[in-house]
Chains A and B, each alone.
Chain A
Amino acid sequence: MEDFLYFFSFQDSSIAFIVLGITILGIGSAYVGTFSFLDNKALLGDAISHSVLPGICLGFLLAGEKNPYYIVGGAIISGSAATFLTSWLKSNTKLSEDSIIATVLSTFFGFGIVLLTIIQKTGNPEMAGLNQFIFGNAIGILEEDLWVYGGLSLIIILSLSLMMKEFSLLVFNQEFGRAIGYPMDFIRLVFNILMILSVVIGIQAIGVVLMAALLITPGAAARFWTDRLSTLLILAGLFAVISGITGTYISFVIPKMPTGPWVVVSLSALALISFLFAPKKGILFRYISRRKYLRKTHRDHVLKSLFKATEEGKKGLSKDELLGLYPHHKKETLGSISYLLRNNQLNNIQGLIELSESGKTEAKRIVRLHRLWESYLNEYMNIAPDHVHDSAEKLEHLITPELEALLDNRLKYPKLDPHQENIPRDNDNI
């Protein structure tokens, strides 16, 4: 608790700096990552983050110390080389995209390891700082480094915000952009540079291996909550910031604990919550609405069976007869009957289940939609009468009143369906 207060009251200016740094950095990467996620190029970020390692080592070898300018410069060069190589391989060989990305990623990283061991053998005491790039350590970021990385992050955020229109064109409809005269290749180049930049600054805190999470996960998680690009970007940034600060806090409290893994774990937890509980797209929500829909269709079917029974001259059906109609759905049928009884659409008169007035209206509506659709398929699509039932069985639950009016109009208010059965109207007597 003391640690908690100490950390979050920002008494220590270096902690305030680091939190500020990781906030800007998280927003920057989430921002770029969301675009590349929407572009279906999520793993390109992974490839880039593995391939900046040789550049970092080369920068270190040239500068002889952990100079942020040399390291960023080297990382940009090797990141660009990897990006260029990926797109060159894609257009010049028949390899699939994931083989290309996996190949580029592993070879660049392997080469980085070679350089890393060579540096290790030179016995340079600053070497320890270099290892941090692989697993990341936000606490280890020095204040002067922070200016460079923070500045770069701001550049990324600003250029993405200013060129929002261009980048959305790139992500959603590149061909359209080209057609109305935007230089799409140039925009892609700018975007790739921004992506490399965000990787370069991100790996300080989170490390080469796990950087992909900071790019992919916020966007993927935020995508579950919204369909609007602006909301998506804000949410993704928020997720990245929350998990960034959580990760930093944990690595502050537990000594020697790297930041990256905790950032990733808290990000993944946020993502998991989104996958499960987000409205509309979440697994739970989809499951519930599917259940609701299935129950509704089953109720429709029960009403329809009772309606058909009245057409045949019966007053109603007994519970057992109804259950016999749906031999494998006993539970659903019982549920539907009791629901409909509660809603006064059915009456239970001495064991005989009958349609009430409101039940009749509803049943007529369903049967009418079913038979209207059958007529439409038969007349306009020229489908044989014995082939139209299955499609109507699905659409009777979906056709809206507007569509119904349209169908009626087109078919000139028919009386009979292709099977020569009566199409029931609201004021018909049965």
Chain B
Amino acid sequence: MITFDQNAFLIISTASLIAISCGLLGVFMMLRKMSMTGDAISHAVLPGIVIGYFISGSQRGVEVIVGAGLLGILATLIIDFLRKKAKVQLDASIGITFTLLFAIGIILINLLAYKVDLDQECVLYGEIAYLPIDLWITDSGFSMGPRIIWLALLNLLLVGSFIFLLFKELKLTSFDEGFGMVMGIPAGAINLALMSMVSYTTVSSFDAVGAILVVALLVVPPATAFLWTKDIKSLIKLTIGIGIGISVLGYYLAFWADSSIAGMMVTVGGAVFLISAVLTSKKFKFRLGTQSNQEAFNS
């Protein structure tokens, strides 16, 4: 028997909205071989969140978002600095940067423990289950529904228009940065803009879903979609589909197992990825793999 559960609907739709935003950004991150940079950024925004929280006195302040955005950009710049100026290899510079910034974040949380009601676990894995209780109430006392869902909508709107407006530039610089530069596209600025969108997405959803789910949604759906298709438009469509799919399935499995919803969504994503990898692997090549999927989207 299936009844309409308002909480389930709210949680799943919020998770799907976040999944779509992350997927859109994730596709480009993956094509630029920057998936680990995304992971690094989602860890590195922590000090920004804490400082923003400390200044504004609440988790909802604009300062939090600004702080996290700045830290995201700072992380990108540090990685770049280490790689280009200090000549450390890329993966090591990512590792050094995000661990340092995350460590500073945890230290700040502990130092400001009395002023900042934030714990490190919440930043890592959030709690989407509390989402329906956390309402946005206007000054006149009118309830507008859960706060996070509005944030997620706004986030999707911004990310969507970012991708839509800069689609050509993003595509070009992802595949051939040199050619993009020759065409007069400021590759560095595009890159920084993408990174700030990633940090904004991380922070706008961190208290609901936590850094782990954001990272997973940034990385796993695009990687899974990439196993099935190489065309960028179908890649994006498939990524969105997978993101929504794991949100729905993850929620019900978590409900059934009585566990962390964000964690379960990630687990489902991992399972989908693994199945796709086995099905499309060189040793296990099914003809129907890529083709049937593309037909499904073309029809």
Contact = CB atoms under 8 A, between A and B. Distances in A.
B43 A99 contact: no
B273 A103 contact: yes
Interface stretch (B5-13, B117-125, B152-160): B117-125
A92 interface: yes
Nearest to B267: A111
Contacts of A112: 263
Interface residues of B, number: 64
Contacts of B121: 131, 134
Nearest to B33: A96
B143 interface: no
Contacts of A225: none
A101 B40 CA distance: 12
B110 interface: yes
Contacts of B124: 113, 134, 209
Contacts of B88: 220, 275
Interface string A76-119: 00000000010001001111101111110111111111111110
Interface string A114-129: 1111100100000000
A281 to B, nearest CB: 7
A114 B267 contact: yes
A109 B218 CA distance: 15
Interface stretch (A14-22, A196-204, A252-260): A252-260
B110 A256 contact: yes
Interface string B111-137: 001000000110011000000000000
Given A111-B270, A118-B259, A217-B99, A106 B277 contact: no
Contact of A283 (B86, B95, B102, B106): B86
Given A213-B96, A216-B95, A261-B104, A110 B263 contact: yes
Interface of A: 37, 40-43, 45-46, 85, 89, 92-96, 98-103, 105-118, 121, 131, 134-135, 209-210, 212-213, 215-217, 219-220, 224, 254, 256-258, 260-262, 264-265, 268, 271, 275, 281, 283
Interface of B: 30, 33-36, 38-39, 43, 82, 85-89, 91-92, 94-96, 98-100, 102-104, 106-107, 110, 113, 120-121, 124-125, 212-213, 215-216, 218-220, 222-223, 226-227, 254, 257-260, 262-267, 269-270, 273-274, 277, 280-283
9 contacts: A85-B274, A109-B212, A111-B263, A114-B254, A209-B99, A261-B103, A265-B103, A268-B96, A271-B96
